[in-house]
């Protein structure tokens, strides 16, 4: 549920307020002094404990499951931060998995390396590459579970401050149990749950009217992982308009200085040691490797996946028909078929980083102008979601895992009304399915499919009953039918990607292999990675058809995510129900 705080003593849910007992109690609460809740109280309900124990048990059972290259990445970072002085953290090249996250995450790795060294010194041995003893497996997976408790605590606070706790409890549980976290964190291996906990903590502070804390927490988050820069424009506009300026447009000097000094202080703590060492250029070169190609590994399901697919279709058309089309031969065998490297198109004009930047900024300006005019919490949350979505669809070298930047904040809007809910369902199904290729082993594939189906069913049933609306016109009926038809295509897509490798003799491509494949195309700005695990024979075996399941998955999911993006954008720009309208109904 969305709660608005615009100076009122108690948060008010925009888009969900009704003339009911909850609204009546809300009226009465505004006439009394509200004592702020402590950050955390031991008032967890039995059902909430059940969610925690159930999810923890499942995560423990997944300890022996598939481990991606990211598992060794983080083990190596433990070793770097433990074995080397800070002056060498961002220079070390002992492993190919060099440190490329901002300093706060490096500090976290340093902290985690201390107990790791006590449990097993080999974990933090810098030269002990690809160590896979049970000590490191158990330790690293346990740290993900423990750090994810930040997310759980924040989600409980969302429930406690909600106008309709039962609905918010469903949304909070759906986020904590999200298939994206299970796939990316607890099998593939990353720390997204922890960092999204910080993001949601920042959003919670905005909901509660504590905008200074919201800005500080977001600054902290940026220094844990720089991918959250995708959301920074929405934060900048919202905090500037609603915290640093008065409703009349006058600058609130005290608020502006408080926010500016707090954010600067966060960056000084993070970057200060490296600035003193004169290493900021080196650090930035690690964080922003622009020499990588347009598409990451296998295509993220975004706009550029559709463009890349269109280029392949045009290439096939030109060859079959002999049409008079200029073909760029270097693009015929381009790494755009699922490998890391420069994406070179065979028919269409090549895309450069500046092109993606201009398109991204142009779309974001649309949402930011609306946010500037209507700087309420709900408007901020929607603009935040759309800002991340815009960067995902049009950004340069977007990781497929970045789809969580869309799905997590969008979950908070799911119960607003039917239009938001339908967008949430479409984006969730497409976004979660797009993560399936990360896990290519049979056991994990079965787990992720079954778990995701159960999750979407458990979320869909209660929320759909609450927000269902009859179609208002024939156009709504047609759109509803087409969206259902699209969703119905996912079981067939699943059958295809499952059976196709069997028809090809069991040889298929997957992201971890494609990320270091020897048939990568080099350019002046990019050198292909080397891998001992990828032999010349394996290189010759890979054909274009082996990337077909990845390509089809990316394209099909991209259609759903692009459509959902346009859907939410339309809803946001044409939103008829505003916060002030809700208040006038109460009065």
User: pLDDT tens string for the chain (587 positions)?
Assistant: 555 444 333 333 333 333 333 333 333 333 333 344 555 556 788 899 999 999 999 999 999 999 999 999 999 999 999 999 999 999 999 999 999 999 999 999 999 999 999 999 999 999 999 999 999 999 999 999 999 999 999 999 999 988 899 999 999 999 999 999 999 999 999 999 999 999 999 999 999 999 999 999 999 999 999 999 999 999 999 999 999 999 888 999 999 999 999 999 999 999 999 999 999 999 999 998 766 677 765 678 999 999 988 988 888 888 888 777 888 777 776 544 444 456 788 888 888 889 999 999 999 999 999 999 999 999 999 999 999 999 999 998 888 899 999 999 999 999 999 999 999 999 999 999 999 999 888 899 999 999 999 999 999 999 998 888 887 888 889 999 999 999 999 999 999 999 888 777 655 555 555 444 433 333 333 334 444 443 444 444 445 577 788 889 999 999 999 999 999 999 999 974 443 344 333 33
Q: Which residues, 6 or more positions from 115, have their beta carbon under 8 angstroms from its beta carbon?
A: 139
Q: How far apart are CA 352 and CA 335, in angstroms?
A: 15
210 falls within a domain: yes
8 Å CB contact between 579 and 14: yes
Task: Write phi, then psi, for 413 (nearest 5 degrees).
Answer: -100, -5
How many structural domains does the chain have? 2
Inter-CA distances, 107 with 38, 437, 497, Å: 28, 31, 40
Contact 526, 292 (CB under 8 A): yes
State the Rg of the chain over Cα.
24
CA angle 198, 203, 206 (to 5 degrees): 130
pTM: 0.86
* 202 falls within a domain: yes
CB 406 within 8 A of CB 423: no
pLDDT recorded at residue 364? 96
Cβ(561)–Cβ(430) under 8 Å? yes
In a domain, 126, yes or no: yes
Structure tokens at 282: 């080196």
Three-state SS annotation for 12-47: ECCCCCCCCHHHHHHHHHCCCCCCCCCCCCCCCCHH
Give the number of residues written for the chain.
Answer: 587
DSSP 3-state assignment of 398? strand
In a domain? residue 11 = no
Query: What contacts 567, CB < 8 A, 6 or more positions away?
Result: 419, 422, 423, 426
Ranges assigned E (strand) in 51-95: none
DSSP state letter for 17: -
Per the CB < 8 A criterion, the answer to whether 139 and 123 are in contact is yes
Inside any domain, residue 502: yes
User: How far apart (Å, rounded) are the C-alpha atoms in residues 471 and 316?
Assistant: 41
Which backbone phi and psi does 90 adopt, to 5 degrees?
-95, 10
* In contact, 252 and 246? CB cutoff 8 Å: yes
Q: Which two tokens stand for residue 266?
A: 């966060």
| Residues 54-68 as b or e (16 or more Cβ within 10 Å = b) | ebeeebeebeebbbb
Query: Which residue is it, tokens 């010194």?
Result: 121
Buried b or exposed e, range 498-527, using 16+ CB within 10 angstroms: eeebeeeeeebbbbbbbbbbbbbbeeeebe
Does residue 447 belong to any structural domain of this protein? yes
Residue 80 lies in a domain: yes
Among the three residues 226, 248, 268, which one is the final residue of a domain in this structure? 226
Task: Examine residue 549 and state whether it is found in any structural domain, yes or no.
Answer: yes
Domain span at residue 532? 402-575
- The helix/strand/coil state of 202 is helix
Per-residue pLDDT, 316:
86
Q: Which residue among 171, 192, 226 closes a domain?
A: 226
* Residue 131 CB neighbours (<10 A): 18
- What's the pLDDT score for residue 350? 87
Contact 180, 432 (CB under 8 A): yes
Cβ atoms of 201 and 158 closer than 8 Å: no
* Nearest by Cα to 172 from 184, 160, 155: 155
- Concatenating the DSSP letter of every residue in 151-176 gives HHHHHHHHHHT-SSHHHHHHHHHHHH
Decide which of 168, 199, 226 is a domain's last residue. Answer: 226
Task: Give residue 41's pLDDT.
Answer: 58
Place of tokens 């048990």: 57
Exposure on the CB side of residue 561, measured as CA atoms within 13 A: 38
User: Can you tell me the distance from the alpha carbon of 214 to that of 361, in angstroms, rounded to the nearest whole number?
Assistant: 23
Decide: 230 and 392 in contact? Cβ < 8 Å: yes
Asked if residue 282 lies in contact with residue 289, where contact means CB atoms within 8 angstroms, the answer is no
Return the residue matching tokens 């984006």.
427
């Amino acid at each position: 549920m969305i709660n608005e705080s615009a100076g009122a003593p108690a948060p008010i849910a925009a888009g969900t307020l009704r003339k009911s007992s909850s609204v009546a109690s809300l009226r009465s609460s505004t006439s009394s002094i509200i004592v702020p809740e402590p950050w955390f109280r031991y008032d967890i309900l039995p059902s909430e404990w059940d969610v925690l124990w159930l999810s923890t048990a499942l995560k423990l059972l997944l300890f022996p499951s598939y481990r991606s290259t990211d598992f060794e990445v983080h083990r190596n970072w433990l070793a770097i931060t433990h074995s080397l002085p800070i002056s060498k953290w961002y220079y070390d090249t002992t492993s190919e998995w060099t440190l490329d996250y901002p300093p706060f995450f490096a500090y976290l790795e340093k902290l985690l390396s201390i107990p790791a060294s006590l449990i097993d010194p080999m974990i933090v041995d810098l030269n002990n590459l690809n160590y896979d003893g049970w000590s490191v497996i158990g330790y690293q997976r346990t740290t993900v579970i423990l750090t994810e408790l930040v997310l759980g605590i924040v989600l409980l606070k969302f429930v406690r401050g909600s106008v309709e706790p039962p609905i918010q409890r469903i949304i909070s549980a759906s986020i904590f149990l999200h298939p994206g976290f299970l796939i990316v964190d607890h099998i593939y291996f990353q720390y997204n749950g922890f960092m999204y906990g910080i993001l949601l903590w920042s959003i919670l502070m905005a909901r509660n009217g504590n905008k200074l804390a919201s800005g500080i927490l977001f600054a902290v988050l940026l220094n844990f992982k720089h991918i959250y820069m995708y959301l920074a424009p929405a934060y900048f506009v919202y905090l500037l308009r609603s915290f640093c300026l008065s409703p009349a447009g006058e600058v609130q000097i005290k608020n502006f200085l408080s926010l500016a000094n707090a954010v600067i202080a966060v960056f000084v703590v993070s970057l200060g040691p490296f600035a003193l060492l004169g290493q900021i250029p080196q650090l930035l070169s690690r964080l922003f490797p622009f020499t990588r190609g347009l598409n990451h590994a296998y295509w993220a399901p975004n706009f550029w996946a559709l463009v890349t697919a269109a280029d392949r279709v045009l290439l096939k058309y030109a060859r079959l028909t002999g049409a008079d089309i200029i073909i760029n031969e270097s693009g015929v065998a381009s790494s755009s078929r699922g490998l890391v490297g420069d994406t070179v198109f065979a028919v269409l004009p090549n895309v450069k980083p500046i092109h993606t930047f201009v398109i991204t900024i142009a779309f974001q300006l649309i949402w930011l102008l609306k946010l500037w005019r209507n700087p309420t919490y709900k408007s901020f949350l929607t603009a935040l979601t759309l800002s991340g979505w815009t960067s995902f669809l049009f950004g340069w070298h977007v990781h497929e895992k970045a789809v969580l930047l869309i799905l997590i904040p969008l979950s908070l809007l799911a119960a607003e009304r039917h239009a938001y809910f339908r967008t949430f369902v479409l984006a969730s199904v497409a976004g979660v399915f797009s993560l399936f290729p990360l896990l290519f082993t049979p056991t994990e594939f079965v787990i992720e499919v079954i778990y995701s189906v159960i999750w979407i069913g458990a979320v869909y049933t209660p929320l759909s009953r609450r927000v269902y609306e009859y179609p208002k016109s024939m156009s709504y009926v047609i759109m509803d039918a087409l969206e259902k038809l699209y969703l119905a295509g996912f079981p067939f897509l699943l059958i295809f990607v499952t059976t196709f490798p069997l028809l090809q003799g069991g040889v298929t491509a997957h992201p971890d292999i494609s990320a270091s494949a020897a048939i990568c195309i080099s350019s002046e700005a990019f050198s292909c990675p080397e891998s001992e695990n990828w032999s010349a024979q394996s290189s010759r075996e890979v054909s274009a058809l082996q990337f077909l399941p990845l390509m089809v998955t990316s394209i099909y999911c991209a259609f759903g995510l692009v459509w959902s993006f346009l859907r939410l954008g339309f809803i946001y720009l044409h939103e008829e129900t505003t916060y002030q309208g809700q208040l006038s109904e109460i009065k």
